[in-house]
Every structure is written in C-alpha cells, then in structure tokens.
Structure 1
Amino acid sequence: MDKVMGSAAEAVADIQPGASLAVGGFGLSGVPEVLIRALLDQGADGLRVVSNNCGVDGRGLGVLLSVGRIARVTGSYVGENKEFARQYLAGELEVELVPQGTLAERLRAGGAGIPAFYTPAGVGTQVASGGLPWRYAPDGSVSVASPAKETREFAGRRHVLEHGITTDYALVRAWRGDRHGNLVFRKSAANFNPLAAMAGRITIAEVEELVEPGDLSPDAVHLPGIYVRRVVELTPPQAADKPIEKRTVRP
C-alpha cells in the first residue's frame, strides 16, 4: 500500500520509448515539472502525449519537445510554445487538436471505463467531418488528416461520437497526497490533473506535501488512491517552483 518512490528518476525509470502519457496541468499551473525533467534525463523518446497544451519554451513539456522526444500530441492549445508551432508546421510533429471540454471528457471517460460518448461540440466543423491537419509534409501540404467521425441526432440536435482516452502512463502534480496515493489538488492546479490521473494505466503523482494515511479527510480527497500507482515527494524548493506564464502587476 505504500506507493512512495525513492526519487522521480526511479518513478519514471520504466517508461519505454513510444509510450503514451497523459500529463496534467494547464499552461504552467499544476504541471508535473519534476517528473517531466526526470523523464528528460531518463531518455525515452517517440513519446505520445495527451495534455491540454505542451508547456512553453523551456518549461513543462516544452523541455521534452525541444530535444525531439515527443512524436505526437493530443491537446487543445498550441499557445505560447514557439517550438511546438514550428515542429507542427514543419511536419516534424503530429498534433491532434481537440476541443478543450471534449479532451477533458475523453480523459475522464477513459478513466471511468467508458469507451465513447456523444457530444454536440464540433458538429458542423472539421472536428466532425474530418480533414484537420494532424501532420504536415515538408512542402506544407497535409500528409495526415483527421478522419470523419460518426454523428447522430438526439432530441433534434446532431452530436459527434468521441472516444475515451487511456494511456500507458500519467504524470500529475498534487498539493497534498498520502502514502496510499490519495490526492488533493489546490485551486487552479485542479485542472487536467485529476482527469489525466484517471486515464493512465500507471499513474505517477508528484506531491508538494506528503502526509500519512488517515491525515486526509475522506471528504477532502479529490482523487482516490485506486487511480495512483506511484507517489514522489517533492523537496521544499521543488514544491515552491511555480512559474507564471505572463505576470501582470499594477503600475
């Protein structure tokens, strides 16, 4: 029952090249930075990542992207990462862009054992009809395009069929966690972290504060330990390292 690992390096040691990963975080909030950097040092490449975005240049998943370790991204937002955009447009990276709410529900569905669901999001667009560029060729043409999806009418409204997502591993960050893997997420860090954790077959959580079993009220637990296989306790400096994408202050 004690799921605490000796180090982040030990926790990610068995991630193989080509593995699929669900990664928590939104922008730079709640990103499992320590586990990502441990995976960078570990050396696995050809990774297939499912995450809302791919960090920024030099932080989050951006550190894996910058050295060519990521082969495919399923996400909602290219955002502030210039290298992400460059690799995608140059045909070096395959990218499946998904409506944000749909991505969240696909992760949740996969973790709940639901193979597919219908949603109105994307009906009437290439999300449903297909043709979104997943990969470009070097000459700028589309070499891999999204397929058309099944649609069906419910209560007079068209819906598109989306499939649940499961991955080989999940990397998440939590505010507090116990040795059994029960996790509590704080404020905006409770973004894609619980959903990513549900979707991974082997979920690894880095926690800012490790407590003993029984210290967390059952009513306070956001994700039960049944979803978590490994826990990594962060040092105080690691827990305090929380970058901000764009700092805005008063004049």
Structure 2
Amino acid sequence: MLWSTAADEGRTVPPEGDLTDPQELADPPPDVSAAVVRLAVRTSARLRLDAPAAREHRPVGAGALLLAAAVGARARSDLAAEVVRAVPAARSLWDVLAHHAVVAPALRHCADPVLAGRLRDASPLTALLDRPTPSGESAAELLLEDVLLAHPQGRRLVTTVYCEPPASPAQALWRGRLLDQLRMPERELVLDVYEAALLRHTAEHLALVRDARLSLTVPPDLPAARPVARWWSALAALERSHGRSLKARSGITRAYLEGVRLHRQVERLEASTA
C-alpha cells in the first residue's frame, strides 16, 4: 500500500486500508520490497540527491511500509498514530528518502494534528524541508549537518526549498530559526538562500512583508508579524556584521530592506513590551 506522489502513481489522494494484518509488514513479499527500493531511487532523482544516495550502501528498511500503512489507516488516527510510533528511525539515506516519499504528499490529507506530527517526526527530511515538531528538531538538524550540507546536491536542495515563501507561520519560524543558526558557520549558504529568494520570489516575499506590517498597526499584533520577521532575521544580522558580503551579491537587491525593516520593527516592539 505504497503512495509516493500523485505524479509518480497517478493518484490524487492516498489509498486507504484497515490495518487488519500489520504483522505482515514485518516480512513483506519481494515485489513489495522492490517497490520500496524503486520509490527511494525515484525520490533521490526527483530531489537531485542521487549522488549522495549512490554512496549509501545500507539497505532500505521496513519503515516506509509502516508509514504507508499508517497513512492508509488515517481514518482511524489513533491506530495509525500507534503504527507510526513503531516505525524505526531511518538508518540510511535510502530510508530517509523512502520515508519522505511517503510522508510529504500524505500530510495534506492528514486532518489529525497528532498523526501529522508523528509522521513528520518519522521522516526527518520532510521535517527539515517543511517543519518538525519540537521532538523532531534534532533529527532534522542532524540530517542537515551530516548529510545535506556535506554534498553540493544537498546544499542546492536546501537553497531551492528555503528560498521559497514560507507556506505557514510555523514553517516561517522554523526556517528563520535555522537560517539564523547557520548564519555564521554557513554564511555563504544563507546568503545563497536570500539571494535566490529575491531573484525568484521577490513579489511573494514582499507581499508577506506588507501583510505583516499591516498587523503592526495600533494595537500591534506581534504574533501575526513575528513569523515573517523571523524569516528575515539572519539577513538583518548579516547586514550589520557582513555588509560587504551582501553588496557583493548582485541578486540581493534593495528590496531586501523591506524585510530587514520589518524584522527591526518587530524587534523594537518586542523590546518595548518585554
């Protein structure tokens, strides 16, 4: 009962099942095991992580099958959540890719927030690219530091995804925190993200900034503005400490000042209300 993506399988929604024989997942037939391997290979190609994946000699485990079964049983979210709890941690990059292929497209069909959180926790790549729960943050950060930042393809993936306008306040807060965390050890990567954002998604980012500013009229709604401001925090700090590096990036146009001003406005309001 595997579900990769709608494009891969021609489906618009995940399949459904009842989990009547979950023990069978412990010893899947060869054709099902082969399907999981193909899923991981396709995902590595789609994300352009095929080069680091080719170095991985550890096999794909049973975690993707358990995750697919849980997604199929999402109508019984309590039972599905228990199945996710049984998913072993990803042991290889192939596991990471297979887990992501199952979880990422399933989240939009998962109405139960507890189940959605457990699915994210079981898929560190999904958590990293979307947002983790607090308990999944360390695994997502470890994947970033040990795997993605160690290879040009991984760095390119982070730049491509993180430059996009955040899809939710929670995602904006997560990405903003991570960019700020990487600001000193990975300054060039962080600048790559902001430069790509201003080259590819200027209008969308500035629209988010304008909406956040509207929420700061009297009385200011700081929780509404904070996520967008947080996304710009690393660039605001780099402007102060490494202004020349910003000027050397032709793609970082003066449009970035709108985001930096929002960040500093939120900073001042937070300080005045502390």
| TM-score normalized by the length of structure 2 | 0.25
| TM-score normalized by the length of structure 1 | 0.26
The one of the two structures with greater contact order (alpha-carbon pairs below 8 A, sep at least 6) is 1
Structure possessing the higher radius of gyration over alpha carbons: 2
